[in-house]
Amino acid sequence: MHLYHTPWLFRKFYPKEVVWRMSAKKKILYLTFDDGPTTEITNWLLSTLDKYNARATFFCVGENVAKHPEIYDRLIEKGHAVGNHTYNHLNGWKTGIVDYAENVSKAKDLINSKLFRPPYGKIKRSQARLLNNLDYDIILWSVLTYDFDKKLDKKEAWKKIVKYSKPGSIIVFHDHVKAFENLKELLPKTLEYFQSKEFTFEKIIL
């Protein structure tokens, strides 16, 4: 079962410090890309976003930034936002608070941002409170595309993206090889469709 949007009841189990969506006052969507940068995907993403004059937010894994600093720099040069996605893509539910904080801090040495997204969307209340005390804004999502699922029904995914994307929605895609087959179909369709509906795509700024 795929939860393409985050139900209100589900959100109650998460810390109140988490951001699920942006302001709905204007027709703006917030595309986000997790897990990069990658040599295979990131440059394609930048070219595709450029075609639609779209800006996005890239939640980067520290070890990938260390491997590809020039691609990371290009994200910023192109006017996109970046966020911290831990150094080693840690699962917060399986990691102690000290180890988690140290891993986020290690990523911070490479990723200049106070935006943070927990890998897998999994973070304990204690971890969230600590990161908030360190002035991080914890960003989750309104719409999850499941582009990482190799068995994804792309037609169904597209219907759900259209159904659940509203002004202020934060939409998750992945800057990862395993997502590319789905990404290369769903992302251009998302950009073209919503632009035709007079939406714009902006990076997250808090």
Closest-CA residue to 143 (of 121, 160, 126): 160
3-state secondary structure 25-36: CCCEEEEEEECC
* Planar angle of CA 117, 122, 128, nearest 5 degrees: 65
For the question of residue 35 being annotated catalytic, the response is no
Q: Choose the catalytic residue: 34, 35, 137, 147.
A: 34
For the question of residue 174 being annotated catalytic, the response is yes
Is-cis flag, bond preceding 167, omega within 30?
Answer: no
Q: Which tokens belong to 13? A: 């189990």
Closest-CA residue to 105 (of 70, 135, 67): 135
Closest-CA residue to 7 (of 170, 178, 142, 126): 142
Q: Choose the catalytic residue: 5, 80, 174, 176.
A: 174
Closest-CA residue to 51 (of 203, 171, 191, 151): 191
Q: Residues with catalytic annotation?
A: 34, 174
